[in-house]
Amino acid sequence: MTVALQGVGVSPGTGAGTVQTMPAPVAEPPAADLSPAADVEAACAAVESAAAGVQADLADAAGHASGTAAEVLTVAAAMAADPALATDAVRRVRELRRTPERAVWEAAAVVIDQLAGLGGYMAERTRDVADVRDRVVARLTGVRPPGVPAPGHPFVLVAHDLAPADTATLDPEQVVAIVTAGGGPTSHTAILARSLGIPAVVAVPGASALQDGETVAVDGSAGTVLRDPGPDDLAAADRARARRDRAFSGTGRTADGHRVQLLANVADPSGAVSAAEAGAEGVGLFRTEFCFLGRADEPPVAEQVRAYRAVLAAFAGKKVVVRTLDAGADKPLPFVTADGEPNPALGVRGLRTAARHPEVLDRQLAAIAEAAHAEHAEVWVMAPMVATPDEAEAFVARCEAHGLRQAGVMVEVPAAALCAGPVLEHARFASLGTNDLTQYAMAADRELADLAALSTPWQPAVLALVQATCRGAAAHDRPVGVCGEAAADPALAPVLVGLGATSLSMTPRALADVAAVLERVTLEDCRRVAALAVAARTAGEGRAAVREALPVLTGLGL
Ligand code: PEP
Ligand code: MG
């Protein structure tokens, strides 16, 4: 019998297939020695054969993967091919009589310590060594290898939550849908699923009961997971999937010709190239901190210039909004953020770090200006986490000192939304960061599954803040974009346009869906559904009212 589990739909579309659960993390083997009767040579051979097997598996997986997954797996395969780990582990078995798995663990610890001590790029490789170690130990102890399963056929991935390292190896050709017990609408899992175009439902209470091999049908719009779906459910999933193979024409507008620029969120040069290929009209959010995550030291100006130029080069003649480093909370950068703040989301993050390290912001602005000068994109610059008109004024002045005239602010703190008029007296534009705006308006950590019902930009209170921002901006004739995940929700996009957003910036995968909806509604429709959503009593009621008023969403399979 079909049973429906209800979670929070965070990436639209449907997918059906057999479940593959993420394996539990590999535990540290006990510090045990071989028994006196054990065959030491057989134990040494076991280490060598497990290491060779892991290397072969990784090389094979890299050969079958594409994009980032292929890159990550190739690095891991190279790491596994380095004989240092196996040689030291074999020595530990032979000389110290360690068990094979314990010997591998200890040998890896030495390599990890050495790499960490070298700092910089080498320190970033410690995660790869730990990954190889876990795979070898898993082989030796007979448990499932860590990481995203690779059953060799498409599947529905079920996990408690996905770590950024796991998500790098997700292959959209293989993973037809994602279901997690944890996570919220703006969690990393949700953002990544949308960027890969994989339907996803998070915060599903019964997810941990799903078993490997059982069939489920996942609806990332409705937030449902059907266990043991009937033939009709499976056929509906197939039809909806087929309808979603649409492309973006490269110009966003409503049915009556009202222009809405449809832009891309990018994190690095390769993302910019894919965004340009997807037809994005420009970049509405370049998250510069993502180029340098995990770095212990500030990247030199020349390196920054190279990274920024590569992004700008993909959008010659088009707008690119570069966000200055948004360090802190879920994205710590040790060279500007402090450890040990009791509440990092409310701490010295985003633009606030510039008070303590003004030279880091100045060097970044110098690098952006140099890159802008050398390339042909139309460069806009904005600061994250601006709360007051004074902060906006100071930021704009510093940008101008570097010759960067299009300087604006992100509106992601409720104070900035409520004081948008005075803030936008100085800032040339605003970009609504609805992920953090929702987190701060609802006082709900964006990564916490337990608060997923609160953490949605459909909350009428959040939409009222969007409305206040658009009104404040209109008083100074300033454009307002939306670059939070709300912009990628095809049902919410008309609401944002109706509230006054002039551009929407999203993961490139969402462009075609959002464009398809806008093309089928008028500006008047957008205003009507915006009024419904803001006046709704709850997020759920607002969403239901908008979906009922726009049957085109269901017609498009969204
Ligand atoms: C936001 O907060 O909505 C935003 C776009 O910034 P980030 O998700 O990078 O915090
Ligand atoms: Mg933010």
Nearest CA to ligand 1 atom 10: 436
For 214-282, give the secondary structure using H, E and C: CEEEEECCCCEEEECCCHHHHHHHHHHHHHCCCCCCCCCECCCCCECEEEEEECCHHHHHHHHHCCCCE
- Count helices and strands (H / E) in the chain: 23, 16
Q: Which of 49-63, 127-141, 202-216, 335-349 has the highest mean pLDDT?
A: 202-216
Cα 102-106-107 angle, rounded to 5 deg? 115
What pLDDT does residue 63 have?
76
Q: Please name which ligand lies nearest the alpha carbon of 188.
A: 1
CB 397 within 8 A of CB 425: no
Tell me, using a 6 A CB cutoff, whether residue 484 lines ligand 1.
yes
The percentage of residues in the chain with a pLDDT greater than 70, rounded to a whole number, is 95
Rounded Cα distance, 507 and 127, in Å: 27
Q: Is the pTM of this model over 0.85?
A: no
Could you report how far apart the first and last alpha carbons of the chain are, in Å? 26
Cα 22-488-200 angle, rounded to 5 deg? 20
Tell me, using a 6 A CB cutoff, whether residue 55 lines ligand 1.
no
What pLDDT does residue 286 have?
97
User: DSSP for 189-209?
Assistant: HHHHHHHHT--EEE--TTGGG
**Ligand 2 center from residue 455 Cα (angstroms):** 14
476 assigned to active site: no
Per-residue pLDDT band at 253 (split at 50, 70, 90): very high
Pocket test for ligand 1, best of 292, 326, 331, 385 (most atoms within 8 A of CB): 326
CB 421 within 8 A of CB 440: no
Which ligand 1 atom is the nearest neighbour of the CA of 287? 9
Rounded Cα distance, 244 and 375, in Å: 35
Residue 498, number of CB atoms within 10 A of its CB: 25
pLDDT exceeds cutoff 80 at 122: no
Residue 547 burial (CB < 10 Å; 0-12/13-18/19+)?
A: middle
What pLDDT does residue 244 have?
60
Q: Which of 188, 258, 357, 476 is catalytic?
A: 188
**Ligand 2 center from residue 527 Cα (angstroms):** 26
What pLDDT does residue 71 have?
72
Q: How confident is the prediction for the chain on average, in pLDDT?
A: 91
Q: Which of 12 and 323 is assigned the larger pLDDT?
A: 323
Which ligand 1 atom is the nearest neighbour of the CA of 431? 5
Residue 537 per-residue DSSP state: S
Residue 437, number of CB atoms within 10 A of its CB: 27
Rounded Cα distance, 320 and 481, in Å: 12
188 assigned to active site: yes
Tell me, using a 6 A CB cutoff, whether residue 412 lines ligand 1.
yes
Tell me, using a 6 A CB cutoff, whether residue 494 lines ligand 1.
no
pLDDT exceeds cutoff 70 at 188: no
**Ligand 1 center from residue 431 Cα (angstroms):** 10
Q: Please name which ligand lies nearest the alpha carbon of 507.
A: 1
Residue 245, number of CB atoms within 10 A of its CB: 7
Q: Please name which ligand lies nearest the alpha carbon of 195.
A: 1
Q: Could you report the per-residue pLDDT of 385-414, keeping only the tens digit for each?
A: 999 999 999 999 999 999 999 999 999 999
Q: Please name which ligand lies nearest the alpha carbon of 466.
A: 1
Q: Could you report the per-residue pLDDT of 11-65, keeping only the tens digit for each?
A: 888 889 999 999 888 899 998 889 999 999 999 999 999 999 998 888 887 777 6
Q: Could you report the per-residue pLDDT of 157-175, keeping only the tens digit for each?
A: 999 887 666 766 788 878 9
* Tokens of residue 540, six digits: 């759920």
Rounded Cα distance, 210 and 189, in Å: 19
Strand pairing report for 215-219 and 224-227: antiparallel
CA atoms within 13 A on the CB side of 151: 17
Pocket test for ligand 1, best of 194, 287, 337, 413 (most atoms within 8 A of CB): 287
What pLDDT does residue 69 have?
65
8 strand-pairing partners: 202
**Ligand 1 center from residue 446 Cα (angstroms):** 10
Residue 179, number of CB atoms within 10 A of its CB: 25
Which ligand 1 atom is the nearest neighbour of the CA of 435? 3
Q: Which of 448 and 547 is assigned the larger pLDDT?
A: 547
Q: Which of 296 and 419 is assigned the larger pLDDT?
A: 419
